[in-house]
Amino acid sequence: MNMKKYLIYTLSVAALTFTSCGDDTMDKINKDTHHPTAEIVAARLQLSDAIMSTAFSTVSGDYAFYTSSLTEQLIGSGNNQLMKAELRQSVELAASTTFNNVWGSTYSNIMSLNQMIDKVQNDIAGSGGQLDILGAAQLLKAINVGFLTDMHGDIPYSEAFLGSVNMQPALDSQQTIYADIMKLIDDAISNLGNSNGKNLAEQDILFHGNINAWLASAYAIKARYLIHQSKVNAGAVAQAKEAANKALELGFTGMNLSEFNGVTCDNPWSAFVWSRYYTTCSTHVTGYMVGDDPRYEYYNGDVAVDPGDEEAAKISANYDYPLYYDLGSQPVHIMSYSELCFILAEAQLRGGEDATDAFQEGVAASIDEQAAWLGDDEADGAAYAATLPVPTLKDVFQQKYIALAVDGQPETYNDIRRLKAMGEDYIVLTNPFNNQSGINRWPEVLPYGNSSVLSNPNVAAAYGDGTYVYSTKAWLFK
């Protein structure tokens, strides 16, 4: 056999061998059996990641870091990004790149939660009928959607998860989105209330399958999103009070993630200050502390500086951040017990009721929690709270401001905008850069993420040159 014939024969055999592979064999060649796609994973197996991503990326990520400067609960420092925010520079606060990471990660969280909901509702991957998983996913989705629209106002939503069917979704109004948030929460309450939690246990790093804790949290979150609507919905305050009381009746003690516990990772605030040193204590927080408030020491108020202090903003080494950030093991508050107490106190006062008990409970809980973190056995939150006068709305908001200075800054940002819309000056911002040459430089909303500004004409049109953030108010806060 000459060389030419041998080559033809060899290629023919190879071709015959290749084509003899069955379709099943070929299908398996490029399949990664060690990393199955989300579509074939049971919904319950996505729960841990959904909880962790919500707590780390959405609740205690860039939204919290940047709004801590806007609320003046911390001073942006370090001669970098947070310094630019502290000095209210548009290059940071109006830039589409600033919140692009958290914008994308929060949408990713919602997409994963949509998958979980779909699997339970349509009996995919063995997930049918698991109402506890469905309720938990609906509640977490409400929280993620809530953060997006609270921070950015109108956002892509109803068309945002259609994949290739619609790559350029339109923006939905915040009013429409809020209606869906409330429906998600009510559906979560219904589903959680009709389940025993047995499907949650394996992957529930938040409450370890305690269905009652999930149900209490759903009512607490409902109270939060109802009180947000106090300016635009006449019945929201009374409904918030009802939801808050129900959460407390069910034993709500906080929706707090502590599973990580400093072992495999650190609290995101601790990781942030250790790696960046971009935050400094603010006199605005210490200025609201009265009497012998133990939190003065925890916050490290002796080195607090004024909001807008240019020297402090440009330097990090000479100033300190709150002591509790050095722990790393402190929990992430998706929603704290203190926040719920202050929501109840606000609702009671707006309804003409005495709010002393709820107010003192919120103050005491804030102190006792921080004292426990830092090993202060002498602090007595209840004793200190009892020294405070009968609360007014101003007292409630200022004590809430102190309590949420730990990691609830986005909620404080919501409170400040809501109070401003209602003509109530209980929290008065003092950073001189908030207004420059008679022009507002304190953002009323946060800028959209760069990925959507570049790829979606609808978002690009709303974004413009970015300066809309100083004049465009979210529906809740108009």
Where residue 201 falls among pLDDT bands split at 50, 70, 90? confident
- The whole-angstrom separation of Cα 426 and Cα 343 is 15
pLDDT score, position 261? 60
C-alpha 335: how far from its chain's center?
9
Tell me the whole-structure pTM to 2 decimals: 0.92
Helix, strand, coil: what percent of the chain each, to 5? 60, 5, 35
pLDDT at 217 > cutoff 70:
yes
pLDDT score, position 110? 98
Mean pLDDT score of the chain: 92
Q: Give the DSSP H or E segment for 243.
A: helix 236-249
Question: 321-365 pLDDT, tens per residue?
Answer: 999 999 999 999 999 999 999 999 999 999 999 999 999 999 999
pLDDT score, position 34? 52
Mean pLDDT of 382-392: 98
Mean pLDDT of 251-276: 87
- The whole-angstrom separation of Cα 467 and Cα 436 is 14
Q: For residue 282, what are the β-bridge partners?
A: 305
Measured in degrees and rounded to the nearest 5, phi and psi for residue 280 equal -140, 150
Domain residue ranges of the chain, discontinuous segments joined by +: 43-477
pLDDT at 212 > cutoff 50:
yes
Where residue 17 falls among pLDDT bands split at 50, 70, 90? very low
pLDDT at 370 > cutoff 90:
yes
Segments in 353-431 forming alpha helices (H) = 356-374, 381-385, 393-403, 409-421
Residue 256 makes CB contacts below 8 A (sequence gap 6+) with 331, 332, 333, 334, 336
Where residue 4 falls among pLDDT bands split at 50, 70, 90? very low
CATH class of 43-477: mainly alpha
Q: Give the DSSP H or E segment for 74.
A: strand 74-76
Mean pLDDT of 166-181: 96
pLDDT at 23 > cutoff 70:
no
Question: 444-469 pLDDT, tens per residue?
Answer: 999 999 999 999 999 999 999 999 99
Q: Give the DSSP H or E segment for 131.
A: helix 131-152
pLDDT at 284 > cutoff 90:
yes
pLDDT score, position 472? 97
pLDDT score, position 9? 44
pLDDT at 128 > cutoff 70:
yes
